[in-house]
């Protein structure tokens, strides 16, 4: 009887541990690149600190608010400080590269190369969800970065569309269709000074404006790529303090995040 009881207890513990492990494995992970975007500045005390499009930054240029959206959807946040490899991407479901450095932003930029582009391509093909948020001609590097995006039929043109003077918000306005496949019901958003896209298969435009490709999606194998030529979800434009109330960047960030989660295949 005692032996049977011990076996039953052991079985329950094993089942609980297995269920816990399965639950942990099921939690999706979003990994933010800290390698190609590796900017530093001096803080008020004179210390050199990381900044610009990072999870930890609560100031205007940070991604803390978008990070909280991922949190709210049960997506665990992570960072990647090194060049991507098959090993260090293995646990990531979503991988985001935002605003790769120029030589003006970093004394020794970590440029994209063909080897890393191939690693990322294979990761996407196996089921990864890749987010590429570039910048305009004055603020980002294109020659090397296009080695990656062109793997998926996406070429960042390196121009600068929607240039905004002062607070002339309408110069940065786009109106998304109410039935948009990624941003349903979002409507008006603000994206200033962005690079347009040239596309070929497997990429397709999911939003155009006056004939220019603004947003693109590519499907490769089990995976998905989403691309825009601007890092438009940083705190300054999703915190509800700067933009007029009829711009819905926060809602767009929430909609995109939910869509990205849906693109993660059940099995990878």
Percentage of residues of the chain with pLDDT beyond 90: 80
Nearest residue to 31 via CA among 124, 125, 103, 131: 131
Q: What is the pLDDT of residue 147?
A: 99
Outline where the chain has alpha helix (H). Answer: 2-26, 64-72, 86-89, 114-125, 146-149, 249-263
Does residue 61 carry a pLDDT above 90?
yes
Instruction: Specify the 3-state DSSP secondary structure of 226.
Output: strand
The confidence band for 5, taking pLDDT boundaries of 50, 70 and 90, is: very low
Count how many Cα atoms sit within 13 Å of the Cα of residue 102 in the half-sphere of its side chain. 11
In whole angstroms, give the CA distance from residue 77 to residue 27. Answer: 10
What's the rounded mean pLDDT across residues 151-161?
98
Q: What is the pLDDT of residue 7?
A: 41
Does residue 23 carry a pLDDT above 60?
no
The full set of domain ranges for the chain reads 25-263
Evaluated on CA atoms 2, 6, 7, 11, the torsion sign reads positive
Residue range 25-263, CATH number: 3.40.50.880
Q: Give tens-digit pLDDT for 246-264.
A: 999 999 999 999 999 999 9
Does residue 75 carry a pLDDT above 80?
yes
**How many Å from the N-terminal Cα to the C-terminal Cα in the chain?**
44
The confidence band for 245, taking pLDDT boundaries of 50, 70 and 90, is: very high
Could you tell me which residues are beta bridge partners of residue 97?
132
**8 A C-beta contact, residue 246 and residue 186:** no
In whole angstroms, give the CA distance from residue 54 to residue 63. Answer: 5
Nearest residue to 208 via CA among 223, 228, 192, 226: 228
Q: Token pair 């240039």 is at which residue? A: 163
- Burial letters for 108-121: b for 16+ Cβ neighbours within 10 Å, e otherwise? ebbbbeeebbebbb
Could you tell me which residues are beta bridge partners of residue 49?
41
């Amino acid at each position: 009887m005692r032996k049977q009881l011990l076996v039953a207890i052991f079985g329950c513990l094993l089942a609980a541990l297995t269920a816990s492990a399965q639950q942990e494995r099921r939690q999706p992970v979003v990994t933010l690149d800290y390698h190609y975007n590796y900017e530093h500045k001096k803080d008020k005390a004179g210390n050199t600190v990381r900044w610009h499009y990072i999870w930890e930054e609560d100031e205007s240029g940070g991604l803390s608010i978008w990070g909280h959206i991922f949190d709210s959807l049960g997506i665990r946040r992570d960072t990647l400080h090194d060049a991507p490899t098959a090993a260090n991407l293995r646990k990531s479901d979503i991988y985001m590269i935002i605003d790769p450095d120029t030589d003006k932003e970093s004394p020794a930029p970590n440029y994209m190369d063909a080897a890393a582009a191939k690693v990322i391509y294979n990761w996407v093909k196996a089921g990864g969800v890749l987010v590429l948020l570039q910048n305009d001609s004055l603020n980002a590097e294109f020659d090397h970065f296009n080695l990656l995006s062109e793997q998926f039929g996406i070429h960042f043109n390196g121009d600068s569309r929607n240039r905004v003077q002062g607070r002339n918000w309408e110069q940065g306005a786009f109106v998304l269709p109410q039935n948009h496949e990624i941003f349903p019901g979002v409507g008006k958003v603000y994206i200033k000074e962005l690079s347009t896209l040239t596309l070929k298969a497997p990429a397709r435009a999911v939003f155009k404006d006056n004939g220019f490709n603004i947003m693109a999606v590519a499907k490769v194998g089990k995976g998905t790529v989403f691309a825009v030529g601007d890092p438009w979800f940083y705190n300054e434009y999703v915190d509800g303090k700067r933009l007029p109330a009829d711009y819905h960047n926060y809602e767009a960030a929430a909609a995109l995040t939910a869509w990205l989660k849906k693109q993660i295949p059940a099995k990878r």
